[in-house]
């Protein structure tokens, strides 16, 4: 935090030095705030950002607008925010894939998550469910699936939401820990669910929000969950770490600001967002999706980003995951 405090102090000192007291910059915020989401409207980060925006505009006394900038696996939005003024009026609702995976995977990434952004608040964690087709006897349990994969390396197929996606990277990590090899089948849309139901692919690491109704309807099997412990939504589904020690994989959703945003602004936003996340109605909504509400300081999010950036960078390098669009 020293660099953030120092930069914030310099910013405000510079303002005071060049402006008469009566003409100093107005108190923050003095005009609308924009939250950039690097995904289309209706995607999970967009829905969460709109919940925050609705509450924030009441607590801050200014409109808070959500702007969708999808494309290039979230990199279009990331680059736009990285180049925005560091004044607290442009924020970034981002996720693990955009911040901790993309820079290791794509040569075209034009932002550095560790240098171009400062954390404001970690909003929530999204666990994934290892879902399996019901059409194969070897997907009746996690143990049976792993045994089948070990006996015939490469014969089982796993779906992902695309090359370089969280489901791709996390499944490769799972495979490494389990000592198995599966064939990757990337998808660009929701066709992977249809193919999982029909048995064209065997397993898919699905975010819990979309996995839960399919599991409860008996359309797919839940072999395990990527969270540290079992989810209240699926109490009978084991944490994958129970079988593969050390395997925990969440997709975080957090609010970031361009680097050098004054620390006094970051702290104000962090405080307000954490209060919102701890509101009973917001907690209930997040828990209802199967997500884990968190909140906390910008320093907490910075620490989480550094940890995930290092972890997934190693996994990506060790498994040779690279996309060259």
Helix (H) or strand (E) holding 93: strand 90-95
Answer yes or no: same fold for 2-126+251-318 and 127-242: yes
Whole-number pLDDT of residue 210: 94
pLDDT less than 70: residues of the chain: 1-26, 324-325
Whole-number pLDDT of residue 3: 47
Whole-number pLDDT of residue 17: 40
Whole-number pLDDT of residue 35: 98
Beta-carbon contacts of residue 239 (< 8 Å; ≥ 6 apart): 224, 225, 226, 227, 228, 229, 230, 248
CA distance 257 to 303: 15
**Are the beta carbons of 133 and 139 closer than 8 angstroms?**
yes
With 0-12 CB in 10 A as exposed, 13-18 as middle and 19+ as buried, what is 232? exposed
Longest dimension (CA), the chain: 76
**Residue reference for tokens 């919102």:** 276
b/e code 275-295 from CB counts within 10 Å (16+ = b): ebbeeeebeeebeebbbbbbb
**Are the beta carbons of 211 and 129 closer than 8 angstroms?**
yes
CATH classification of 127-242 is 3.40.50.720, yes or no? Answer: no
pLDDT one-digit tens code per residue, 203-228: 999 999 999 999 999 999 999 999 99
- Ordered by start, the domain boundaries in the chain are 2-126+251-318, 127-242
Helix, strand, or coil (residue 162): coil
Angle between helix axes 263-277 and 280-288 (nearest 10 degrees) is: 70
Whole-number pLDDT of residue 188: 83
CATH (residue range 2-126+251-318):
3.40.190.150
Whole-number pLDDT of residue 4: 57
Whole-number pLDDT of residue 190: 79
CA dihedral 18, 24, 30, 31 (to 10 degrees): -30
pTM of the model: 0.89
Of 41, 47, 37, 33, which Cα lies nearest the Cα of 78? Answer: 37
């Amino acid at each position: 935090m020293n660099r953030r405090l120092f930069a914030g102090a310099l910013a405000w000192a510079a303002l005071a030095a060049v402006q008469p007291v009566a003409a100093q910059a107005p108190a923050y915020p003095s005009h609308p705030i924009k939250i950039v989401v690097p995904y289309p409207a209706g995607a999970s980060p967009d829905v969460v950002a709109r919940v925050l925006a609705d509450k924030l505009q009441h607590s801050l006394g200014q409109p808070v607008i959500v702007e969708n900038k999808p494309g290039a696996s979230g990199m279009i939005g990331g680059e736009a925010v990285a180049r925005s003024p560091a004044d607290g009026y442009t924020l970034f609702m981002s996720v693990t894939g955009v911040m901790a995976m993309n820079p290791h995977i794509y040569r075209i990434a034009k932002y550095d998550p560790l240098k171009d952004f400062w954390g404001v608040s970690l909003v929530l964690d999204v666990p994934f469910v290892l879902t399996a087709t019901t059409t194969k006897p070897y997907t009746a349990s996690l143990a049976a699936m792993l045994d089948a994969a070990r006996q015939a390396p490469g014969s089982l197929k796993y779906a992902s939401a695309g090359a370089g996606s969280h489901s791709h990277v996390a499944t490769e990590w799972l495979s490494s820990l389990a000592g198995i090899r599966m064939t990757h089948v990337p998808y660009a849309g929701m066709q992977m669910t249809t193919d999982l139901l029909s048995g064209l692919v065997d397993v898919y690491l699905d975010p819990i929000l979309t996995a839960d109704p399919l599991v409860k309807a008996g359309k797919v099997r839940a072999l395990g969950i990527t969270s540290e412990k079992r989810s209240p939504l699926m109490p009978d589904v084991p944490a994958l770490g129970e079988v593969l020690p050390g395997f925990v994989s969440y997709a975080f959703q957090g609010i970031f600001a361009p680097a050098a945003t004054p620390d006094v602004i970051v702290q104000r936003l962090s405080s307000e967002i954490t209060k919102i996340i701890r509101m009973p109605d917001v907690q209930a909504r997040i828990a209802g999706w199967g997500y884990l509400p968190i909140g906390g300081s910008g320093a907490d999010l910075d620490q989480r980003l550094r940890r995930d950036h290092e972890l997934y960078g190693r996994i990506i390098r060790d498994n040779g995951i690279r996309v060259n669009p």
